[in-house]
Amino acid sequence: MSHPNDQSKLPAAASSASAAIDFLTLTRKLKTTKRTGWIMRGVPNPESIADHMYRMSLMAMIASFSNTTINTDRCIKLALIHDLAEAKVGDITPHCGVSDKEKYELELKTMEHISEMLGPLLGGEEILGLWKEYEEGVTEEARLLKDLDKIEMILQAQEYEVDGGHEKSLDQFFTSTEGKWRTEVGKAWAAEIVSRRKGVGKDDGNISKENDGS
């Protein structure tokens, strides 16, 4: 029978400590890197990649509770992993001049590096598998998370419109997602956000006065 303070378990923990701290240090970039789309539209003090990932994780948790066919834990893991590669490659958008193929290859290379860094003891293979699952978007959980990624984006856009001060219109965030929802949750939550947006008016009156000629 092993004792709760069995010293034989310490070497394994010690051997993985360096890899764990290396990984966690890398993820600091997620906390400090601002999301590109908001920067390009002149949003003051925009959210970081980690900000987006955190609220998306909460979305994954509550959205999966009402669906008995969906694995809640898996949804939360997918949310936490889906933008992990951006800790190294940054937040690449369609306006950055990088093709989808090149973006995927850059992110895959990063995720393979992270997987190797963590090794089997720290779940490296599982994390890489989760990232690939999200990218492929085939499983029910991945389809939901693809929708929630866009839901978090338009909710944030709507909130920035209410806050005001941004230099350019945020309409594109809404038009780019129209008709692209793959789940009932996505459709329902998007409709609610759009309804609230109409209730307070669009962003035309919120765009910085410095840029409207007045």
| Residue ranges of domains in the chain | 20-211
Q: What's the mean pLDDT in 4-23?
A: 74
In this prediction the pTM is 0.85
| Total Cβ atoms within 10 A of residue 64 | 23
Contact 42, 168 (CB under 8 A): yes
Residue partners of 26: CB distance under 8 A and separation at least 6: 87, 88, 114, 117
- Regarding the domain delimited by 20-211, which CATH topology (the fold level of the hierarchy) does it fall under? Hypothetical protein af1432 (1.10.3210)
Mean pLDDT of all residues in 187-205: 82
Sort 88 into a burial class: Cβ within 10 Å, 0-12 / 13-18 / 19+.
middle
135-151 confidence digits (pLDDT tens) = 999 999 999 999 999 99
What's 67's DSSP letter? -
Q: Does residue 201 carry a pLDDT above 90? A: no
